A = this chain, B = another copy of it.
Amino acid sequence: MTSSLNEFLTTRKKDIEEYLFSYVHELHVPENLKSSMLYSLKAGGKRLRPILVLALMNAYGKREEDGIPVGCAVEMIHTYSLIHDDLPCMDDDDLRRGKPTNHKVYGEATAVLAGDALLTESFRLISSQLSGDISPNQKLRIIDELVKSAGALGMVGGQFDDMEAEQRQVSLDELESIHARKTGKLLTFSVTAGAILAGASDDDIEKLREFSYHIGIAFQIRDDILDLEGSEEKIGKRVGSDTANEKSTYPSLLTLSGAKDKLNEHITRAKEIVSGLQLEQQLLHELCDLIASRDH
């Protein structure tokens, strides 16, 4: 990783977390509910989704600060989805990033409600917390994108199909459709929301939507590879769990080296799209490389 990318990731992660934790901390809501919300928000993670929002604004030469509430909104959505996915009736996970999952600490009922609360609150970060320089129509467009990315048309629908596909063989097309929604759509939201905030043209936004599709698939392939080759310490969960759960993955359908080839194809395509746009390309290219080679 270049030192400029490292600097970007470190400083922006800090800015995002500062805003996110203090926003939730200041809400006048029941203490234990707040504590459960903050527990999962603070459980770490790379903050990749908010980082992408800011990276797009940066690439267009806009004031990144104005994107922080949108970045925190998508991080809240990501966090709520992890809390609900970990529930006993869903994936029944006791550990997440090496720490007890929300329902193991706060109980299932509170975990359901903390998820509901984070999901709901995320929309207010967009409707009411953005700088006055962002027009009402930009805000509404971002809300529309968030619903399509996070709801039944996107992440929730992908999670549903993933559940239905468990323990049966799925085709590569099915696998791609599931991941494009379950993990890909929130990444798409981050990219398109950053572009909308930056005032990008509709044409740019559609090209960036395609860019985000490729990094989303690449992200998922890397995840599957890490489940085979990664370090348990770094990824914070048992390695080999996909195989143990008989889950269809890119390596199981394409072989490990086939999966690595596919990962590279998607990253190459993503970079080509960026190269065709009138914006500062280096940071976005570096983020593509990071997604392809991350170790957690």
Contacts and interface: CB of A to CB of B under 8 A. Distances in A.
A112 interface: yes
A75 B89 CA distance: 26
Given A89-B112, A109-B89, A33 B136 contact: no
A269 interface: no
A157 B120 contact: no
Given A120-B150, A121-B147, A153-B28, A112 B113 contact: no
A136 B140 contact: yes
Given A112-B84, A151-B120, A157 B127 contact: no
A150 B164 CA distance: 30
Interface of A: 27-30, 32-34, 37, 80, 84, 87, 89-90, 107-110, 112-113, 115-117, 119-121, 123-124, 127-128, 135-137, 139-141, 143-144, 146-148, 150-153, 156-157, 159-161, 163-164
Nearest to A119: B119
A121 B146 CA distance: 10
A156 B113 contact: yes
Contact of A37 (B33, B90, B139, B152): B152
Given A33-B157, A143-B143, 13 more contacts: A30-B157, A30-B161, A32-B164, A90-B112, A113-B156, A115-B116, A116-B116, A116-B151, A119-B120, A120-B156, A124-B148, A124-B151, A136-B139
A159 B127 CA distance: 24
Contact of A30 (B27, B80, B141, B164): B164
Number of copies: 2
Contacts of A135: 136
Q: Which 8 A-B pairs have CB atoms at the shortest separation, nearest pair first?
A: A136-B136, A120-B151, A89-B108, A29-B152, A117-B152, A124-B147, A127-B143, A33-B160
Contacts of A112: 84, 87, 89-90, 112
A117 B151 contact: yes
Contacts of A124: 143-144, 147-148, 151
A107 B163 CA distance: 12
Contacts of A157: 29-30, 33, 117
Contacts of A161: 30
A139 B144 CA distance: 12
Candidate in A139, A147, A161 with the most chain B CB atoms within 10 angstroms: A147
- Residue picked from A115, A137, A139, A140, most chain B C-beta under 10 Å: A140
Contact of A160 (B110, B140, B164): B110
